[in-house]
Structure 1
Amino acid sequence: MREFDVIVVGASGYTGQRVCEYLAGRARETGQRWAVAGRRAEVLAPLAELHQASGAIAADCTVPAEAAELAARGAVITNLAGPYYGRAETLVGACAAAGTHYLDLTGELVFVRGIIDRFHDIARDSGARIAPVAGYEALPFDLMALALLEDYMDRHGASPARIDLLAGAMQPPPGATGLGEMISGGTAETMRVMLENDFSGLAEDPTALNPADDPDRAEIRRAMPYDMAPRPDDLEPWTMPIFPGPYLHPAVVNRTFALLRREQVPVSASIHYRERMSMGGRAGAFAAPASYLMSVNASVMGWLSSTSLRFPRQIMKSVADRYFPKPGSGPSLENLDNWHWNIIGRASGPAGNVAMQLDADGHPGYRTTANMIAEAALILADPQAKTPGRAGVLTPALALGTAELPRFAAAGLRFSAVEAS
């Protein structure tokens, strides 16, 4: 029995405070104990008092001894202190060794690849479920892909040939305009760090997060090349790539499928996972050129994140330094609850189709991201929750499973089966 069910690292940051707001009410409902953690005790104490947390822990998670002590006190560590590359590995290692579950909001493929290689076996042996990328990138997409896969296989006894997800056009409230309303300073800082440090080329590879010895990687790359342009068989014509990370979710979902195959689940290695974002019909006559323009933009961003050339990276970083929000900032608080968005999904194959939908309230990157990672932490900390017994460096879907999807309604995410077209 750990002292706390959930410990929130980085609780004083923009997203961390939103997580605390959620836990302040939700943890009272579930009867779970939670604490805030970070480096500055003078900030944590009033934050814990404001949100009625069960404790406040001052710790520098880059120091091995302090990270180990923190991991030993909680059943689940929720790490919101990004960027993660070069900063969070010590805490992940401590959680993996202690059998402590771990969640974060990283979108950094090079960081996730690194912790897979270093800590997967350790976490598997200790029973820790390490689940990075557990915000809007990429928890709802990963969970929907797994739910569609399971539904199709339950109904038809075979793997689907493809899974398509379409994120609906986000509906911001009146007055919510400008880059600062879309992304926080933390997200912008992550982009800056990756432009400076990530020369891995992982963004070009849909199997970037698969096991290193996965024999299916060549087949997966053949079946699912990155294609940013709209296609006639997409769920909706004239769509654009997922914003802001079209290269992230497929790598996460492919790891989900790869680890399921290792459990002898007959997921086809040639399954085609594809996701797009709707333009909501607002582009009108400009839908086709706008769709291709956004596709070109996504392709350029993919090249920038993969190239070894420093000059174009420096140009993009200069743009980010000048125009992107600064760390600690985020969208206007009065607008966070008034966003609406959805995702529709379809699994298809020779035997037929199955479909589902997610309807969500709140700013996707900040309100619902904070709510969903907090709810995921409460689920992982709950010994009565119907979660799978697997461990290791997993994906959000593999760590949580799909049996507890209804609990995410408390976080503003409502999953439902719909009639397949």
Structure 2
Amino acid sequence: MTSTDPTDSTSTQRDYDIVVYGATGFVGRLTAAYLAEHAPANTKVALAGRSLTRLEAVRKSLPASAAQWPLVEADANDIDSLRALAVSTRVVITTVGPYAKYGLPLTTVCAESGTDYVDLTGEVLFARKSIDANHEIARRTGARIIHSCGFDSIPSDIGVHVLYSAVTDAGAGELTDTTLVVSAMRGGVSGGTIDSLRTQIDEVKKDGKLRRLAARPYSLSPDRSLEPDLGRQSDVVLVNGKDIAPGVRGWKAPFVMASYNTRVVRRSNALREWAYGKEFRYREVMSVGSSIASPVFAGAVSAGLGALVVGMTVLPKKILDRVLPKPGEGPSPKAQDSGHFTMDLYTTTTSGAHYRSRVKATGDPGYKATSVMLGESALALVHNRSELPDAAGVLTPATGIGDALVTRLRDAGFEIWAKKA
């Protein structure tokens, strides 16, 4: 892995290289622990949050390498504290959500300060607001505002990125119909994830315009009028494996995160001036096995997802609070260690060739594996400056970090590859 001096001439001198904001939260603690164990020794890391007392307790729980990390008091409702945080560091990692409630002021002060930023949001409406508020500002200051650097949406975005690279290197044309299949996955759900989903559901319930915006397949694209007309693109789909690629068997069910991930991938294509292809169509599904009963299982999953959304829309909050995890809660260490995911992506190119890529990792996808993805995204922005794409603005993992992130994740134990099928 190529490394560069964090104080090189490509950046302004700052007090810190990385600040973990929200370090007392569930994923914040995991990310801080990951950095304590894996960040190069010359990386200057600080922990930030509302309570210095709680931050001190987190720091004491971390490996000895974190014992001298500075603590920074910052509050999402105090813009001056957020601005002071942003100007003190080269990169901000934030796990403070729901982002629709607490995230936008921090993105804006980072954009204004020329500070790189990474988060793990899966909230379409928040990402859209951030794009509208910050993209041009960040382009002027050189900041990279990179949303969705966790399980939402690195496997999707980087999976398509390496697929595109393999096809381009082979001169095999452009990508057309491309499908991500969740081939295997095991993991839990935290209260923070549930709270983010609730927040977005509440937003669209109140405003029909927001509901329509969230439903659009190009809702995160820079300019919808420039997108190709590819007909209807639905996120809730049942797909026969044989219609994905030769050799793929069984019916596939809708994937719960498709409604967000697909929009991130389409934004990457647009930011790259449609380098993936003007005929690039993208969807995400999940495997339910390949037996003769797979159509039944896929239909049941689809119905279950619909029931979940309806339940969270119509049931009173006090009833949901009795059965759903609360913010700050998450899987046990044992459950985190036993988690894993495998994402297989298939495409057909304009030359008729079939290509496949894979992103696979151990650890609970939304928590242990996400802390790796979030941590390595920030480390790439600090230590791999010369390898980053020439870009600034509100970006995606592929367009803001790209190959540098692929290399770091491989070195961290991820399996990432692409080849002709």
Pair in the same fold by TM > 0.5: yes
Match 1:163 to one of 174, 178, 181: 178
Query: Is the Cα–Cα contact under 8 Å of residues 358 and 413 in structure 1 kept in the other structure?
Result: yes
Tell me the residue number matched to 2:282: 273
Q: What TM-score, normalized by structure 2, do the two folds share?
A: 0.87
Q: 1:410 deviation in Å?
A: 4.3
Match 2:34 to one of 1, 12, 22: 22
Q: 1:241 deviation in Å?
A: 1.5
Match 1:191 to one of 169, 193, 197: 197
Query: Is the Cα–Cα contact under 8 Å of residues 184 and 327 in structure 1 kept in the other structure?
Result: yes
Equivalent-residue separation in structure 1 for 2:380 and 2:24 (angstroms): 23
Q: What TM-score, normalized by structure 1, do the two folds share?
A: 0.87
**What RMSD over aligned residues (CA atoms) do the two structures have, in Å?**
2.2
Query: Is the Cα–Cα contact under 8 Å of residues 138 and 393 in structure 2 kept in the other structure?
Result: yes
Equivalent-residue separation in structure 2 for 1:246 and 1:383 (angstroms): 30
- 1:292–1:319: structure 2 CA closer, same or farther, 3 Å change rule? farther
Q: 1:46 deviation in Å?
A: 3.0
Runs of 4+ deviating beyond 6 Å: none
Query: Is the Cα–Cα contact under 8 Å of residues 169 and 280 in structure 1 kept in the other structure?
Result: no
Tell me the residue number matched to 2:407: 406
Query: Is the Cα–Cα contact under 8 Å of residues 337 and 362 in structure 2 kept in the other structure?
Result: yes
Q: 1:374 deviation in Å?
A: 0.7
Match 1:8 to one of 14, 20, 39: 20
Q: 1:237 deviation in Å?
A: 2.1
- 1:24–1:371: structure 2 CA closer, same or farther, 3 Å change rule? same
Gaps of 5+ in 1: 173-180, 305-310
Q: Does 1:148 align with 2:157?
A: no
- What is the letter of the counterpart of residue 288 of structure 2? M
Residue deviations 1:164-214 (CA, integer Å, cap 9, x gap): 2111222x4xxxxxxxx6200111111222222234123321101011x33
Query: Is the Cα–Cα contact under 8 Å of residues 160 and 349 in structure 1 kept in the other structure?
Result: yes
- What is the letter of the counterpart of residue 23 of structure 1? L
Match 1:127 to one of 142, 152, 156: 142
Gaps of 5+ in 2: 1-12
Tell me the residue number matched to 2:5: none
Q: Does 1:286 align with 2:301?
A: no
Query: Is the Cα–Cα contact under 8 Å of residues 250 and 289 in structure 2 kept in the other structure?
Result: no
Q: 1:338 deviation in Å?
A: 2.0
Q: 1:73 deviation in Å?
A: 0.9
Tell me the residue number matched to 1:47: 58
Q: Does 1:335 align with 2:335?
A: yes
- 1:236–1:123: structure 2 CA closer, same or farther, 3 Å change rule? farther
- What is the letter of the counterpart of residue 251 of structure 2? W
Residue deviations 1:321-341 (CA, integer Å, cap 9, x gap): 231101111011122112232
Equivalent-residue separation in structure 2 for 1:372 and 1:410 (angstroms): 12
Query: Is the Cα–Cα contact under 8 Å of residues 188 and 320 in structure 1 kept in the other structure?
Result: no
Residue deviations 1:102-148 (CA, integer Å, cap 9, x gap): 11111111100101111110011111111111110111111111221
**Identity over aligned residues, as a percent?**
30
- 1:318–1:151: structure 2 CA closer, same or farther, 3 Å change rule? farther
- Say which SS state the counterpart of residue 85 (structure 1) adopts: helix
Q: 1:50 deviation in Å?
A: 3.5
Residue deviations 1:44-84 (CA, integer Å, cap 9, x gap): 12322432432111111332211111001111101101111
- Say which SS state the counterpart of residue 147 (structure 1) adopts: helix
Residue deviations 1:316-360 (CA, integer Å, cap 9, x gap): 756532311011110111221122321112231242122222221
- What is the letter of the counterpart of residue 396 of structure 1? P
Tell me the residue number matched to 1:346: 346
- Say which SS state the counterpart of residue 417 (structure 1) adopts: strand
